[in-house]
Chain A
Amino acid sequence: MSRRPRPRRAPLRVRGLSVWLIALLVAFVATVQIRSQAEVERSLVGVDATSLAFLIDDLHSANDTLASEKADLTRLRASLQSGQTGAADQALTDEAQRLRAIEGLVPVQGPGVVMQIDARGLTALDLEDALNNFMAAHAEAIDVNDHRVVTGVAVEQTSEGVTVGGAVVAAPWTISVIGDSARLAQVAELMSQQLRADRRVRTATYRTATDIVISSVLSEKPFVYAIPS
């Protein structure tokens, strides 16, 4: 009786290899899947959706402001390129006037808010924060108790109290701010609410005005160390 030949079994080594190959494939696919997801998560570490939404809002607003600046500069460049008589003189005169206002070198006027804070024990940090809040709301000129303030004017705590640009500013503080009065009023309202909840504060009020006059000015300081590049 002839026996049917037994089918040849694959050698043991080949079978082992197949199993390893399959295991490797499974592990690879699983790792790729999990890692790709982990990378997405890692890029978002520390930033929640609300913060991202605020960030998007801020960036939209910033980009609008930059677009407006670009449009102004493009117009100015076109005017200078036209070669019109006096175009450069007019542009330079306008810019000088604007920069003097920005640097606090000339009296200015415009719409805005006037805030009054009567308190005992408020520190330089409190005033610094209040001024920064207004600056963040696009304040264009600020005065505290008849002292002009721009970023770069030091607000310090001394033994005599809070100083602005080296001059003591005693309570009550009257902060006059020129800018977009609606936007400034929002900030003033929030600050008033917070200040009223502070035990050190007796009163914190504000009013909007269509024409605030800021007469205080800063004196121009020549550079001693800084050199134009």
Chain B
Amino acid sequence: MSRLAGVGVVAVVALLVGFILADQVRSQLLTPSNQVARYQALVRSVQDLEASNAGSRRQIADLRAQIDALESDAAARSATTQALRSQVSDLRAHAGLVAMHGPGVEVLLRNGVPGANSGGGTGYLVNFQDVQDVVNLLFAQGAEAVAVNGRRITPLSSFSGSEGQIVIDQGPPVTSPVKLDAIGDRNRMVAALDDPSALPGVRARQVQFQLHLTFEGLPDVSLPAYDSSLQIPNVAAS
């Protein structure tokens, strides 16, 4: 009996030693634990804000669909309203407010690997300028509609971000892999993407950091409608 108790004591002591050991290792591996707690708090804030952002964008899409249905009902009762609605439908399509499909291309950008001599730089990461350059190239080749990771580009769209995070309009940041879809003349867009003189920034980093750029023409590409704000409170027709 006393032998069993002895073994129990040894087990409890070993357990305690294990805890203390683990805690010691942890506190040495990880720089000040309150710093980690601060990180966690920041990450939680980002996650909460992103969830709220996604919820708002869903609601905006729903509201636009409801408004469209109400306008459709009104148009069924009036020829004037019908004519106005037809004009607005076309304008909405050009502004990116309507889901579209058609032939086009799919472009994929993916982070490379940090180079030995990169000096801690972030050249191996896909950045917002890369995305901006590809979008500009696609539009220059006649793209009629473009989306980046499912976020539709509008006439007011902008790109920003830092260190591999790409912010487009009011959406949460997107990171590698970044998928760009464009509707238009796929042969023309593929030829432009294939041109070695195009996208010099991306091509240089393809060599240096194995940044990944692939693309293919597709018979049917589907793009969602824009689901964020298109307000212009400071502009008046002149």
Q: Hey, which chain B residues are within 8 Å of A119, CB to CB?
A: none
A227 & B71 in contact (Cβ 8 Å cutoff): no
From 184 to 238 in chain B, residues with beta carbon under 8 angstroms from any chain A beta carbon are 184-185, 222, 228-238
Contact B95 A102, beta carbon cutoff 8 Å: yes
Is A198 an interface residue when CB atoms closer than 8 A count as contact?
no
Q: CB-CB < 8 A to B60: which residues of A?
A: 66, 69-70, 73
How many A-B residue pairs have C-beta atoms within 8 angstroms? Tell me. Answer: 300
Given that A88-B74, A92-B85, A152-B153 are contacting pairs, would A25 and B14 also be in contact in the complex, using a CB cutoff of 8 Å? yes
CB of B183 closer than 8 Å to a CB of A: yes
Docked Cα-Cα span, A68 to B232, in Å, equals 12
User: In A162-211, which residues have CB < 8 Å from any B CB?
Assistant: 178-181
B78 interface residue (CB < 8 Å to A): yes
Docked-complex contact A108 and B236, CB < 8 angstroms: yes
Instruction: Find out whether the CB atom of B155 lies under 8 angstroms from the CB atom of A152.
Output: yes
B167 touches A58 (CB 8 A): yes
Q: Smallest Cβ distance from B173 to chain A, in angstroms?
A: 6
Nearest CB of A to B18, in Å: 4
Q: Which of B10, B19, B98 contacts A228 (CB 8 A)?
A: B98
Kindly identify, within residues 79 to 93 of chain A, every residue whose CB is under 8 Å from any CB belonging to chain B: 80-81, 87-89, 91-93
The residues of A that contact B159 with a CB separation of less than 8 Å are: 132, 136
Which residue of chain B is the closest to A129 with respect to CB atoms?
Answer: B129
Q: Does A44 contact B (CB under 8 A)?
A: yes
Please report the C-alpha to C-alpha distance between residue A213 and residue B235 in the assembled complex, in whole angstroms. Answer: 10
- The answer to whether B63 and A77 have CB atoms under 8 Å apart is yes
CA distance A73 to B11 in the complex (A): 66
Q: Mark B137-165, 1 if CB is under 8 A from A, else 0.
A: 00110011110000001111111101111
Q: Which residue of A lies closest to B111 (CB)?
A: A46
Residues A18 and B7 in contact in the complex (CB < 8 Å), given A69-B228, A228-B99? yes
Cβ proximity bits B59-81 to A, threshold 8 Å, 1 near / 0 not: 11001101100110011001011
Complex CA distance for A97 and B237, rounded to whole angstroms: 8
Check A150–B38 contact: CB distance below 8 A: no
A56 touches B229 (CB 8 A): no
Which residue of chain B is the closest to A156 with respect to CB atoms?
B140
Q: Any chain B CB within 8 A of the CB of A106?
A: yes
Given A25-B15, A102-B95: A151 and B88 interface contact (C-beta under 8 Å): no
Does B118 sit at the interface, judged by CB under 8 A? no
Q: How far is the CA of A226 from the CA of B93 in the complex (A)?
A: 9
Given A22-B10, A34-B22, A55 and B39 contact (CB-CB distance below 8 Å)? no
8 A Cβ contacts from A1-43 to B? 7, 9-10, 15, 18, 21-23, 25-27, 29-30, 32-34, 37, 40-41, 43
**Given A66-B53, A107-B238, are A73 and B64 neighbors across the interface (CB < 8 Å)?**
yes
A101 → B minimal CB distance (Å): 5
Residue of A33, A44, A81, A213 with highest tally of chain B CB at under 10 A: A33
Q: Is the pair A110, B139 in contact by a Cβ cutoff of 8 Å?
A: no
Tell me which of B56, B70, B75, B233 contacts A70 (CB under 8 A).
Answer: B56
A-side contacts of B165, CB under 8 Å: 47, 51, 55
* A-B contacts, 13 listed (Cβ < 8 Å): A47-B165, A51-B162, A56-B45, A63-B56, A69-B228, A110-B236, A136-B158, A141-B232, A151-B157, A156-B140, A213-B238, A223-B144, A229-B101
Q: A22-B11, A228-B99 are in contact. List 20 more A-B contacts (CB 8 A).
A: A25-B18, A29-B19, A44-B39, A51-B162, A69-B228, A73-B63, A74-B63, A77-B66, A88-B74, A88-B85, A89-B80, A92-B87, A97-B237, A99-B88, A102-B232, A104-B155, A108-B236, A132-B159, A135-B158, A229-B99
The chain B residues found within 8 Å of chain A, CB to CB, are 3, 7, 10-11, 14-15, 17-19, 21-23, 25-26, 29-30, 36, 38-40, 42-43, 45-46, 49-50, 52-53, 56-57, 59-60, 63-64, 66-67, 70-71, 74-75, 78, 80-81, 84-85, 87-89, 91-95, 98-104, 129, 132-133, 135-136, 139-140, 143-146, 153-160, 162-165, 167, 169-173, 183-185, 222, 228-238
The 4 closest A-B pairs by CB, nearest first: A154-B140, A88-B74, A135-B158, A33-B22
